[in-house]
Amino acid sequence: MVTSILAVVLVLGGLIFFHELGHFVVARRLGMGVSVFSLGFGTRLFGVTRGKTDYRVCAFPLGGYVQLVGESPDAELPEGFTQEESFSRRPPWQRMLVVLAGPAFNFLLAWLIFWGLAYSQGVQEMLPVIGQVTNASAAQEAGLVPGDRIVEIDGQPIAVWDDLVSRIEANTGAAMQVTVARGREIVSLAVTPRLQEKRNLFGEIKVVPMMGIAPSGELSSRELSFLAAAVQGGRQIKEVSTLMVMGIVKLVERVIPWTDMGGVILISEMIHKEAQNGLVNLLALTALISINLGILNLLPIPVLDGGHILFFFLETITGRPLSPKVQQAALRIGMTLLLMLMIVATFNDILRHFR
């Protein structure tokens, strides 16, 4: 239990620390003043002052913040800081970079984790071995049987199951010449995929070409070089980010029910579970949460980083900042929306235990 609590604190605290580190690094590189870099909220437990910045650890660890000097034009500057270090006096593009750096560092952290895991663990790939053939399907009528390993389709080599899926989904109704390894034999069969209804990851029914086969689940591990692992890490970032963005869109479209949305309780439970399954699983989950944190912070909702970026972008276009009244109204709306989402997510997390 202690290990799980420690894992939750380290993962969530570490992700927030890295997010705030992005803001801090870019602000300092641009010469802006930072009065406080805090890991946690609430009462200051301990810390150290270096230069003009107070680096502190506070009582409530699941959070953190970077306090920039002069965040608003009328803000008083802390002792020792000059007007030139004021955040609000900088051009919009510089302020935009500082805000964007937080989510960017979340993606950077996820990439470093995926890179390290790919280099140390290799890549697990599903082999194109048939585990099940559906009755009266195109595959059964063509003569495919469980245990067949698909080697080629129309002369194109099939190395992993994803290659097979891509070839089938690209089919336009023509017969496919499928070459399989069956024991010590090589067998060539003609298979014409049929259009069938299939539920996708988000529960939507799509009509796609299908053979009527399922994988056996056999995996192979492929080692990667240091640079190849970096590329693989970037590929995973792209795939996961695409799925998460699509998930948000489907949530808004009500394809995914709001009852499926989870919050901090669900995330903590997932961390608790993966902490028991080993460091590799915990690191992989940390990368996923980091990407999720980066994407959510980029949403154009006032209060979030994406909302501030929108404000600075509009200032760049119009040549002047939005009026304080408009900004305050937008921030109130954004805060209300954010609180409502947090309440719904927490409510779902609690109800999930009774379903």
Residues marked as catalytic: 20
Q: Which of 267, 298, 297 is nearest to 285 (CA)?
A: 267
Tokens 């990439």 locate to 111
Q: Which of 336, 305, 293, 312 is nearest to 66 (CA)?
A: 305
Phi-psi region of 80 (alpha: psi -120 to 50; beta: other; left: phi over 0): left
Q: How many Cα atoms are found within 13 Å in the side-chain-facing hemisphere of 250? A: 17
Q: Say what the alpha-carbon torsion angle 217, 220, 226, 228 is, to the nearest 10 degrees.
A: -70
**What is the rounded CA–CA span in Å between residue 145 and residue 78?**
75
**What is the rounded CA–CA span in Å between residue 114 and residue 106?**
12
Q: Say what the alpha-carbon torsion angle 141, 146, 151, 152 is, to the nearest 10 degrees.
A: 20
**What is the rounded CA–CA span in Å between residue 37 and residue 18?**
12
Q: Are 68 and 34 in contact (CB under 8 A)?
A: yes
Compute φ and ψ for 54, nearest 5 degrees: -95, 110
Q: How many Cα atoms are found within 13 Å in the side-chain-facing hemisphere of 151? A: 12
**What is the rounded CA–CA span in Å between residue 57 and residue 249?**
37
**What is the rounded CA–CA span in Å between residue 288 and residue 329?**
33
Name, in order, each residue with C-beta under 8 angstroms of 213's C-beta and a sequence gap of 6 or more: 130, 132, 133, 134, 137, 139, 144
